[in-house]
Amino acid sequence: MVFAFSIGFGAFMFVFALTIQDGLHADALHGGLAILPMAVLFFLGSVFAPSLIGRFGRAALSIGAIIQLAALVAVVVRGWPHVSLWDMALPLALAGAGQSMLFAGLFRSVLADVPTHLGGVGSGVLITLQQSGLALGVATLGTVYLARAEHNTAHAFATVELVQMAIIVLLAIGVAALPPFTTVSADTPMVDA
């Protein structure tokens, strides 16, 4: 699930930057500023995710996926491609909040049953899958975008976003298959002293 999440996330970041610059004709600085609301709420969501996941369990992951999905739909559907960077600020902020919840929960789910003495190996494998997913998302969906962008940048972005939305729907459904989270408080150290 982390691999699938990373495919969609990597593709979004790559395609969004190209769309802002090529489709909306903004410079790189404005493109970076356009994604700032998403980054800020991803950070804040990551801070609060452990307590929300501890309280609501897997439901917090599903809610995060639904928030992310609704936000991406709002980015693509709401007046696309005739939107300003300001029009995308709130949906992107919500997408960041939803992503943080899903991302933190998936990492917690994967690493929950890894014995302490194998924590380095478990996290290394997880990060390798994450990085592979990011690269594969850029390579595959980025190629789809570039092939379609020759004809219409707006449709190319929408196509890639539809694929990402499908991934998010599958993740929201797949969360139900995750094992129940253990009741470890956020203050409990992860490493034995």
User: Closest Cα partner for 43 from 87, 85, 99, 88?
Assistant: 99
Residue 95 counted as domain residue: yes
As for how many domains the chain has, the answer is 1
Residue 115 counted as domain residue: yes
pLDDT surpasses 70 at 104: yes
Residue 182 counted as domain residue: no
pLDDT in tens, 145-166: 999 988 888 889 889 999 999 9
What pLDDT is stored for residue 137 in this prediction?
A: 93
Domain that holds residue 98: 2-177
Residue 30 counted as domain residue: yes
What pLDDT is stored for residue 97 in this prediction?
A: 93
Residue 187 counted as domain residue: no
Average pLDDT over residues 164-177: 90
pTM of the model: 0.83
pLDDT surpasses 90 at 140: yes
Residue 193 counted as domain residue: no
What pLDDT is stored for residue 169 in this prediction?
A: 93
pLDDT in tens, 32-78: 898 999 999 999 999 998 899 888 888 888 899 999 999 988 887 77
Average pLDDT over residues 104-115: 84
How does residue 192 score in pLDDT terms, banded at 50, 70 and 90? very low
What CATH number is attached to the domain comprising 105? 1.20.1250.20
